[in-house]
Chains A and B, each alone.
Chain A
Amino acid sequence: MSTSWDQLEQRMHAVDRFVQGEMSVAEAEAFEQQMSADASLAADVAAQRELAASLATAFSPSPPPNIADLPKPGAGSGPGTGPVLPGMPWLWGGGAALIGVAAAITWFATGSGTGAGSPPADLATAYQHAVAPDEPFVPRTTDETEFAICSKIGHSVLFESDEGATFGRPGGGIGDSTPMAISVPMHLGADRMLLVFDLAHKDEPAERVTTTRISDTLFKHVVVRHGLRVTELSPREKPAMLSRIRVGS
């Protein structure tokens, strides 16, 4: 027996509404009678119910994020000791949740928010003494594009970098962005640094950042010496980590 497309569509629609409980009582009773006379219709309903149950089990939503804990403008948290950057009043209280790279780096570098400047002396000191005493300190300019985001969250500092490998090239020593990377958390009194590497920017698999490579440099020179915890994250892991930090677990 052939069934026209319209009939098929009506049947699918009816099954759909019945399974979803969208029929009126009278409609549902009529449909049940129809099912008792049509085994294939009953089978369709059973199949849809089974499918819905399977999907509902597998796709039971996770709990929603705690909105109050998310970084948002005007709701930063932190020790409340940082300087205020003119023109960016959401830094009031020193608890900026998210700040842009240029402003952030400028702030760190100059403390005044008036454009690119020289890194403060203790950054150079940090580099010289903590990282590479034998290497000349060559500060990078403050408009580094590799720091896409730099944020202070609680006692952690978040870096996003599309050149994560510069933090720890195997055998290559320490990248010239390292002094900035290690000094900023120290400036802010952070005890943890989160490095977010956007690996999609890496063209060569050989340049993948691995824990080992980071360990070779940052961990050895910075963490051990200064007690700064470093956690490397993929971009995907960042929001979850932010959430965990914010809730203090």
Chain B
Amino acid sequence: MGAVLLIAAKDLRQRLRDRSALVLCIVAPLAISFLMSSAFAGAEDLHVTVVVADEDGGEVAAALVAVLGSDELADLLTVEEATDRSAAAAAVDDGDADAGLVIPFGFSEAATGGGAAELEVLARSDRSLSASVVRSIAEGFYAEVEATRTAVGTALAVGAPLEDLEGLAARARAAPDALAVAAGELGGRELDLISYYAPGMAIFFALFAVGFTARSWWLEAAQGTLDRMRAAPIDPRAVLAGKVLSVFVYTVASLGTVAAATSFAFGAHWGPAPAVAAIVVAMAVAGTALTALVIALTRTEQQADGLASLLTFALALLGGSFIFVGTAPALLRRLAVATPNGWALRAITDLSTGAPASTAVTPVLAILAQSAAIAIAAAAIARRRAET
């Protein structure tokens, strides 16, 4: 055991002196998480200033302006008024407003009389999100007007008195929706993107430790230090054990650091610490098994570099580090659970949305089982190579 620890400590010392390794396993995931956090923070705090040009002046137009300025939308919208379309367009062009809404002359009459009138949303090309928000609200209002018109028309068609038109419209607007979609959540908290991509990126970059160590194995073989270690009075298996132990420590340190930093600095939710720790340890075990597999399958530093890179990117892609697997096609969702990192990310995602710590048990067992299968395959390949 002493030789294993000694070799692992030596490898870690070398890794610490290799700044590129530190950058890849700690600085890069933190930096990318920070960038994503900043980008997503902008989306979550979206507020749109909309300038409205009411060229109609009618009752329905006034109702639309009232909807835009309602208390329910106060956090999202600030409404400013313009005298006409050209004033609204100028405000948008100058950047004084994020979007503009032009209510054309005849809008109210068209809404109540069955004619056609088109609302116009103004926006610069770099404010498409703001324009989408305004358009969605306007479309929602339009849909309600259309529903009221349809209800009143239907009532008149079945013999309702024409004199009670106002009352019919009021009752149609007040009627509760017959159908509704309720938002259900499996966990107690909605998954925010930083809580998905922070572990996704952390796992992706931690997988680079596989490549570092596999390359280092073949580099040592080429420079003779591997033979020098094996010439010492130690169990020859201790050399490989020491090497892969360094991957284990490195992965735990990398994932642990990124988890702590993104939680405190960016507010990412990773879930209960003991469960996350179990997942991190399981992923570190998977890293050691993958390293042994790459070493078993290659013969040179260049081969190890190529295979480890391929493996890292394939696992990250399939496991969901780059894309949100929950919304991916069924095939990709099935492939994700064929990877240890896919299980890990799935478990952290569940934990981050408030699932209990026991949720991590199955993923951890799955990761360990996959690691055992990979290690057995590596041992079989290595044995066959040794015989030939």
Partners in one complex: no
Query: Which residues of B does A touch, CB under 8 Å?
Result: none
